Structure 1
Amino acid sequence: MTQRKNLIDQKFGLLTVLEKKSEKKAGSNRIYYLCQCECGNKKWIRSDALKSGNAKSCGCRGDRDLIGKKFGKLTVINKIEGKSKRRKKEYLCKCECGNEKIVCRDDLISSHTKSCGCLHKEKCAINSKKAFNFLKENDWIEGTSITQLQREKPIRTNTSGVTGVTFESRKGKWRAYLEFKGKRYNLGSFEDKNEAINARKEAEEKIIKPFLERLKEK
């Protein structure tokens, strides 16, 4: 039977072996060593992890290796002492925009988190601009959105159920208006809601309908 080599007093990376113990698991004896790390921490480590080189510190080395590294827009400044509620290691990071953010180690390494949140805002702004430009090129004619002109249902905030008709609580009247080619036409204020709706419909017939018919002829 081969005699196992005693590793006490040997050094593996930042670890110095202090003590040895044997534990029986899954029907076999496993050897563990109590190691003193250069950072001051002590930790029990399996002998095979020491011999293979997989264990070179108590875990602090991995922490030090992250400090100064960049992940997306985030640069790791320091490790946060203790663990988060999810029992994850956390790091204080500085974003390119100047903000600081605490991020879990796993989220940094997996690229799940790449900024303080500003990157998402930038992407949203870019996507909004792309959508605006697309609509401007494909939906806008002479400064007017064709989709909006042909929309049958009013927007959610509309209080009358009819586009271009709204209730003015301060005056206690219904106001009718129409927006076309970047210009707002104020069609008047009315005591009766139906009068305001009729004013809006008349303006559509006079202003919008001829414009849409002209487009169909092209």
Structure 2
Amino acid sequence: MERKIKNGDKFGEWTVIKAYSSTKGTRRKSICRCSCGVERELDNRNLLNGQTKSCGHKRVENITKARYAKTDKRFIGKTFGELTVIERVNNKGRTRYKCKCSCGKEVEVIASNLERGLQVSCGDYRKHRTEEHLEKFLSEGRKKLDEKLVEDTNLYLLDSGLSKNNTSGCRGVYLIKKSGRYRAAINFQKQYHNLGTFKTFEEAVEARKAAEEKYFKPMLEKYKDEIENI
């Protein structure tokens, strides 16, 4: 006999807030809240047999932390123009770093602006900026971007984190508001690959990761030395 689930029962990260919400004649389901605040209707059997333990936020957090760690390796302690990167200042969205300028002033700078040479000092034009100075670092930034382009592929983008427009928590996975399903997609060598739509976020994430293994991994391994020097 299937165990009866009650309000307040916990299964992994899930807490049952409304048990047996489905209609008669269908599988019993419960409304559950994850420890991160996400609420979903879940099949009771999946709760009881441990098939679902959370909304998947921890996995996304671990993926994000790993990507940030790779980015930190490229930036922290490095000097870009007059700026020396000290530490990361955010854990969500576009990467920003606290930097110390050669004049002693500390500022927060978006990582991509450092990478592209768009910000090379604290911004005090009287101390640092001349037209020649600006053109020099813009030219160096463009050169760095060109060096990352191989086989119609930007190596930096293969290994970069989430864009500011991503709201799902996983790169290449998007919620289709009208249907409530998740779409997974991947861009590689100027080609867009639609990986399909999925009922759950976890399924879409799995599809995206499989595509990264197929498309990104061989390229990243092939140009491993170049990436480490970026």
TM-score (norm 1): 0.38
Larger RCO (alpha carbons 8 Å, 6+ apart) = 2
* Structure with the higher fraction of residues in strand conformation: 1
TM-score (norm 2): 0.36
* The structure with more radius of gyration: 1
